[in-house]
Amino acid sequence: MPTLPIVGEVDTAVLVAQLIFLLPELILAVTGTVIVAISPLLRGRERPLVFVAATGVLAAFAGLGPSVGGAGEVLARMLVLDGTSTFFRPVFMLGALIVIGLSPDYLARRQVPAGEFYALVLFATVGIMLMASTHELLMLYLGLELASISGYVLAGMLRSDARSQEASIKLFLIGAMGSAVLLFGLSLVYGITGSTNLVEIGHALTGGAAATFRPALLAATMFLVAGFGFKMAAVPFHMYVPDAYEGAPTPVAAFLSVGLEGAAFAAAIRVFVTGLGIIQPNWAAVFAVLALATMTLGNVTALLQQNVKRMMAYSSIAQAGYILVGLAVATDRGISAMLYYVLAYTVMNLGAWAALIYLSHNGQSEELADFAGLGRRAPLVAWALTFCFLSLIGIPPTAGFFGKFLLFSAAVDAGLFWLAVAMAVNSVISLGYYWNVVRAMFMEEPATEEPLKASPVFGLGFTLAVLGTLLIGLGAAPFFRLVSAAVVTLP
Amino acid sequence: MTEHAWLIVVLPLVSWLLISAFGRRLKNEGDWLGVVTIGVTLVLSLVVLWEVAGGAATRVSVPWLVMGDWQLDMGYLIDPLAAVMLVVVTAISFLVHVYSMGYMHGDARYRRYFATLSFFTFSMLGLVVADNLILLFFFFELVGLASYLLIGHWYENLGPRLASLKAFIVTRIGDLAFLVGLAVLVLATGTTGIPELRELVEHHQVPATVLTLAAILVFGGAVGKSAQFPLHVWLPDAMEGPTPVSALIHAATMVAAGVYLVARSFFLFEPSATALSVVAVIGGITALLGATIGVLQTDMKRVMAYSTVSQLGYMMMALGVGSLVAGMFHLWTHAFFKALLFLAAGSVMHAMHTMEMHSMGGLYRKMPVTAWATIIGGLALAGVWPLAGFYSKEEILNAAFYSGVSGAGFAFWAGVISALLTAFYMTRAVILVFFGRPRDRHRYEHAHESPPVMTVPLAILMVLAVTAGWVNAPISHHWFGKLLGEAEVHLAPIVTVLAVGATLLGVAAGYAIYALRLVDRRAVINALRPVYTLVRNKYYFDELYNATVLRGSLRLAEWAAWFDQRVIDWLVNAVGYVAVKLSEAAGKFDLSVVDGLVNGAAAVTVGAGRRLRTIQTGFVQTYILTFFAALVVGLVVFQLWRL
């Protein structure tokens, strides 16, 4: 049985030197801590903190420098530097950066303590980045918990709003259970293979453990599917999502829908492909079923929503269904398509949420009726939202189109023709509810002509998301190369 | 010029952006910018046609997206087919732009209208020159979007709103087929470039069954866009848009995009007898369907709309019986005389503020130019010698007559009968609108001829409606046919006799019933009551689709919501109850057995299950129970499922 790597066996000097690879996470964590420390000194004038938080994320981007090109497991095998982590770390930071940019007006309007908000977003980002960049089950779990617990608190930050409290408590109760199931699955895997390192788990399983412990391994796989499925918002583990997103502060819902879901996909790629690759046909089949159920239920239920925020929650479920196709295919093309889609989803979904945040910080609610006449009251926002919707539907030349196209062709390539057809049919269904909002914006009369406002910082965040959706679509070629290089190969 | 043909596409794009961005500050909200730009593209297109007629051809392609061993290119292909289409699109678009300056004068969204018109022209021209099918598909979608925006231009009213939505959704059904067809082609050949595909097909590199499948699926896109049976239902409703838009998009150009698509990918159809038959039969059905419904419409624009459906059927039919030249020739002539008819109808609308033919009458005295425009357009449409429609219709009927494709016989007779009906309903429309005594005195008093900005385009189109057919007549030595690569023209005297006879009979019948009143209309209607009801209600297609597709999808959505709320909840409760009982039993049976699964599930479900019984709205518990129900089912299935 292979022994666990012990910190003591590693040269301390080497360890300290290797901290440089952890620079982005360290910078984010330190920035978060600094924000927490100085926010009481600001006595309520916390608006400038947005710049501190954004600067922290930008510095963290720069901190990626030493990690690029580095390969292998470092820091006592806790952190892995490979194509996947090189891809996901900046993607998650980009998501965090956009969310931070979109938030200040909302926080001011709804009297959310900005310091705590930014700090928690940064901590959660550290968590999701770690989830995507480790081969170590314990590290993965810690990252997950760091992100999840930050998420629970974030969801409840509207302290005088009962629905926000409800969202928080629901996320917490169900999240705790999801984590427990995941942890149970992980512990079964450890029991079977005697290792917590995914590469070694893979070796142990191919070395005969998979055959010996087959029933236990299948059970463990199912627990892991359920645990990850919960974080990915996959049907039937999705039920908390609409309530939680509807109640949570809008920027938080936006952040959860891209950050936490994205990280769950990243971690699932590592666990299933790298660790459990030997029983790939089994889990791939389950993911195919989940993908079908998730996209179909998400889209069909979204059709009937009158509240756009709740509609977006179902939309994010449906989008998770598309991404799951990548795991159902589980070929190199499937996984790289999935990476591309997570990137596209991050920008296009945040772009769409941005419009909701915009309405919300102008004192409107998120009912469909509030979108009436937005095309006249705020043409830029309305057009940008339309564009992001086109991308979410998958109409060229947006990022969403190429994402769907890659997933689609990967599925066809792998012989999962029915799943490809289901994707196509689903994207037609989704036209219905996205277009409903567009119709309201451009073809209905506004209830009031009261002007809508946003700060330049919000504008920057919004621009970043929309421009990203455009550029990742129009100039897709370099991103294709990036994701092909980043793919984790099946053993 | 040919090698710089991209300019023709880019100019309207620039115009669109400029009008959208700065129109507010420009004189007349920037309408002149659109007119000038399209005028320039018209000149450029004519130059291109001139050069292409002299043997020039070009193809430029640049890599756009590279994905592993597969790449998507972006480029343009100028050949005789594209050159002809460029001229059609820019010419009609130019005239409609000019006309719109009068027709849309004072409209609340004048600037948006002109911007969208430019956007449409850009998309349509892009579609024409696209050198691969994926790029063509992009523009196919964009013209659909432009059509949607323009049909719904007056979106304050319910009619345009519903019509625009209907057009968008119905055509997307066809687009889906087109997209799947593209996927089939890419999988089979690895390319979507039009010349590359043609090369592969001509060298028999593509299996016949694949070819047939791909051709029929691509044809699906054409069925949607060109309003062919059974997706023809959107086009008549699209008449809710401004009339110049109907002329440009829903008569002359965009609806012909489906015909153009089939012509562009004709090499896919040619080797497949099955695909050709499908096209011919669908075309024939559509021609008959449109013509019969057109006979009983009382709204002038709707008569034109069904006439367009019918004529598009003619074009498809021509392609289906294997004659690309006949199809494209009819597209060419039809664009001019149908645009003329629509613009004339717009002129009537402008004067009368209604399209109901039974409230018109005697307008000839008030608006002679418009009346002549309608008469000439009508004669050209009916196929009276020597007007444009005569030559193209004769060419189609001859092609059908000589064709060996199965279904060509049906197409031929459908064509002859439709020719009769066409002549009849045009005669009827002209008499009802322009002759007899005015039926609505009030409206008649206020009617007046339209301003020159509208009548000049009418005059130009009148000339074209007369002469456009001559390009493929003995007088020009069948220049058009030779340009598009047709070697020999066979004309059977019997076909000419039948066609002319049908036309004359139609005109005579119309004249007898509506002008001379030799036959009592009521008596005929009463005698044919069941047929009348069926056709008057447009064969109940809308009702059929409402009852099946529309209601079906709504039901599905409602059912899914109900299922989520009721059945899943109920299942969860049931599973929860069983789980509680089981875990209680298990707990009693052996407390010391450490089993993570049972204990974990039981611990939560016991608590949750108890609460469920007391609190009806135990939502969190429901969620947790669902989670575990799914997990348990998954665990069991997974163990039994051998992969």
User: Can you tell me the distance from the alpha carbon of B330 to that of B343, in angstroms, rounded to the nearest whole number?
Assistant: 19
The CA-atom distances, in angstroms, between B643 and each of A277, A278, A285, A335, B630 are 14, 12, 9, 21, 20
B171-198: average pLDDT = 87
Q: Minimal Cα distance from B73: which residue of A?
A: A477
On average, the pLDDT of chain B sits at 84
Burial tier of B136 (Cβ tally within 10 Å: 0-12, 13-18, 19+) = buried
DSSP A126-148: HHHHHHHT-SBHHHHHHHHHHHH
A/B interface, count of CB pairs below 8 Å: 107
- Pairwise CB contact (< 8 Å): B623 & A286: no
What pLDDT, on a 0 to 100 scale, did the predictor assign at position B28? 79
User: Can you tell me the distance from the alpha carbon of A338 to that of A261, in angstroms, rounded to the nearest whole number?
Assistant: 12
User: Can you tell me the distance from the alpha carbon of B208 to that of B215, in angstroms, rounded to the nearest whole number?
Assistant: 10
* Nearest Cα residue to B343 out of B118, B157, B91: B91
In tens, the pLDDT along B484-526 reads 887 667 788 888 888 889 999 998 888 888 888 877 778 877 8
Contacts (Cβ under 8 Å, ≥6 apart) of B595:
none
In tens, the pLDDT along A437-482 reads 998 898 888 888 788 888 888 999 999 999 999 999 888 888 888 8
What pLDDT, on a 0 to 100 scale, did the predictor assign at position B618? 39
Cβ A21 vs Cβ A67: under 8 Å: yes
pLDDT top residue among A34 and B4: A34
Verdict on whether the full-model pTM lies above 0.80: no
The helix (run of H) or strand (run of E) holding residue B72 is strand B70-78
**What Rg do the C-alpha atoms of chain A give, in angstroms?**
22
What pLDDT, on a 0 to 100 scale, did the predictor assign at position B449? 85
What pLDDT, on a 0 to 100 scale, did the predictor assign at position A2? 44
pLDDT of B628 over the 50 cut = yes
Binned at pLDDT 50, 70 and 90, residue B610 comes out as: very low
Burial tier of B364 (Cβ tally within 10 Å: 0-12, 13-18, 19+) = middle
pLDDT top residue among B22 and A189: A189
Place of tokens 């705590």: A116
What pLDDT, on a 0 to 100 scale, did the predictor assign at position A249? 93
The helix (run of H) or strand (run of E) holding residue A12 is helix A12-18
Nearest-CA distance B632 → chain A (Å) = 9
Q: How many residues does chain B have?
A: 643
pLDDT top residue among B590 and A331: A331
- Pairwise CB contact (< 8 Å): A304 & B66: no
A396-422: average pLDDT = 90
Q: Minimal Cα distance from A244: which residue of B?
A: B620
User: Can you tell me the distance from the alpha carbon of B408 to that of B421, in angstroms, rounded to the nearest whole number?
Assistant: 20
B194-209: average pLDDT = 88
pLDDT of B174 over the 60 cut = yes
B133-155: average pLDDT = 89
Q: Minimal Cα distance from A283: which residue of B?
A: B638
Token representation of residue B23: 């129109």
In tens, the pLDDT along B266-325 reads 999 988 889 999 999 999 999 999 999 888 888 888 899 999 999 999 999 999 998 889
Binned at pLDDT 50, 70 and 90, residue B609 comes out as: very low
Phi, psi of B73 (to 5 degrees): -105, 165
- Pairwise CB contact (< 8 Å): B620 & A174: yes
* Nearest Cα residue to A368 out of A315, A427, A304, A428: A304
DSSP state of B514: I
Binned at pLDDT 50, 70 and 90, residue A135 comes out as: very high
Q: Minimal Cα distance from B629: which residue of A?
A: A236
Give the mutation candidate from A222, A317, A340 for the B interface (greatest B CB count, under 10 A): A222
Token representation of residue B379: 């004669």
pLDDT of B565 over the 80 cut = no
pLDDT of B467 over the 70 cut = yes
- Pairwise CB contact (< 8 Å): B66 & A477: yes
Token representation of residue B578: 């069983």
DSSP state of A47: T
pLDDT of B601 over the 60 cut = no
What pLDDT, on a 0 to 100 scale, did the predictor assign at position B91? 93
Q: Which residues of B touch A170 (CB under 8 A)?
A: 619-620, 623
Cβ A120 vs Cβ A287: under 8 Å: no
Phi, psi of A306 (to 5 degrees): -100, -25
pLDDT of B604 over the 60 cut = no
Place of tokens 């689609």: A408
Percent of chain B with pLDDT over 90: 25
Q: Where are the alpha helices (DSSP H) in B190-207?
A: 194-202
Cβ B243 vs Cβ B345: under 8 Å: yes
Binned at pLDDT 50, 70 and 90, residue A488 comes out as: low
Instruction: Decide: helix, strand or coil at residue A73.
Output: strand
- Pairwise CB contact (< 8 Å): A281 & B183: no
pLDDT of A490 over the 60 cut = no
pLDDT of B241 over the 90 cut = no
For residue B352, count other CB atoms closer than 10 A to its CB: 21
- Pairwise CB contact (< 8 Å): B187 & A412: yes
- Pairwise CB contact (< 8 Å): B634 & A170: no
What pLDDT, on a 0 to 100 scale, did the predictor assign at position B592? 44
Q: Which residues of A touch B165 (CB under 8 A)?
A: 439
Give the mutation candidate from A239, A336, A435 for the B interface (greatest B CB count, under 10 A): A239
Q: Which residues of B touch A484 (CB under 8 A)?
A: 68
Binned at pLDDT 50, 70 and 90, residue A366 comes out as: confident
User: Can you tell me the distance from the alpha carbon of B384 to that of A307, in angstroms, rounded to the nearest whole number?
Assistant: 59
Q: Which residues of A touch B179 (CB under 8 A)?
A: 424
Task: Write the secondary structure of B488-512 as one string of H (helix), E (strand) and C (coil).
Answer: CCCCCHHHHHHHHHHHHHHHHHHHH
What pLDDT, on a 0 to 100 scale, did the predictor assign at position B642? 65
Using left for φ > 0, alpha for ψ between -120 and 50, and beta otherwise, residue A43 falls in left
Token representation of residue A140: 């993965």
- Pairwise CB contact (< 8 Å): B558 & A174: no
Q: Minimal Cα distance from A483: which residue of B?
A: B67
* Nearest Cα residue to B6 out of B113, B86, B63: B86
Binned at pLDDT 50, 70 and 90, residue A19 comes out as: confident
For residue A11, count other CB atoms closer than 10 A to its CB: 9
For helices B6-22 and B110-129, give the axis angle rounded to 10 degrees: 160
Instruction: Decide: helix, strand or coil at residue B591.
Output: coil
The type of residue at A36 is: V
In tens, the pLDDT along B53-91 reads 888 888 888 877 766 666 778 888 998 999 999 999 999
What pLDDT, on a 0 to 100 scale, did the predictor assign at position B85? 92
DSSP A190-257: HHHHS-SBHHHHHHHIIIIIHHHTHHHHHHHHHHHHHHHHHHHT-TTS-THHHHHHHHS-HHHHHHII
DSSP state of A415: T
Q: Which residues of A touch B180 (CB under 8 A)?
A: 424
Binned at pLDDT 50, 70 and 90, residue B605 comes out as: very low
For helices A83-102 and A23-38, give the axis angle rounded to 10 degrees: 20
Token representation of residue A185: 């699955």
Question: Which ipTM value was assigned to this complex?
Answer: 0.82
What pLDDT, on a 0 to 100 scale, did the predictor assign at position B600? 52
The type of residue at A76 is: A
The CA-atom distances, in angstroms, between B410 and each of A264, B273, B276 are 60, 15, 13
Among candidates A230, A301, A408 on the partner chain, residue whose Cβ is nearest the Cβ of B627: A230
Binned at pLDDT 50, 70 and 90, residue B602 comes out as: very low
Average the pLDDT over each of A68-72, A121-125, A425-429, B179-183 and give the range with the smallest value.
Answer: A68-72
The helix (run of H) or strand (run of E) holding residue A51 is helix A49-63
Q: Minimal Cα distance from B183: which residue of A?
A: A409
Token representation of residue B225: 């866009």
What pLDDT, on a 0 to 100 scale, did the predictor assign at position B68? 64
pLDDT of A32 over the 90 cut = yes
What pLDDT, on a 0 to 100 scale, did the predictor assign at position A340? 93
Enumerate the β-bridge partners of residue A367: A307
Cβ A169 vs Cβ A240: under 8 Å: no
Give the mutation candidate from B627, B632, B635, B641 for the A interface (greatest A CB count, under 10 A): B627
Q: Which residues of B touch A410 (CB under 8 A)?
A: none
pLDDT of B585 over the 80 cut = no
Cβ A155 vs Cβ A87: under 8 Å: no
In tens, the pLDDT along B431-459 reads 888 888 888 888 888 888 888 888 898 99
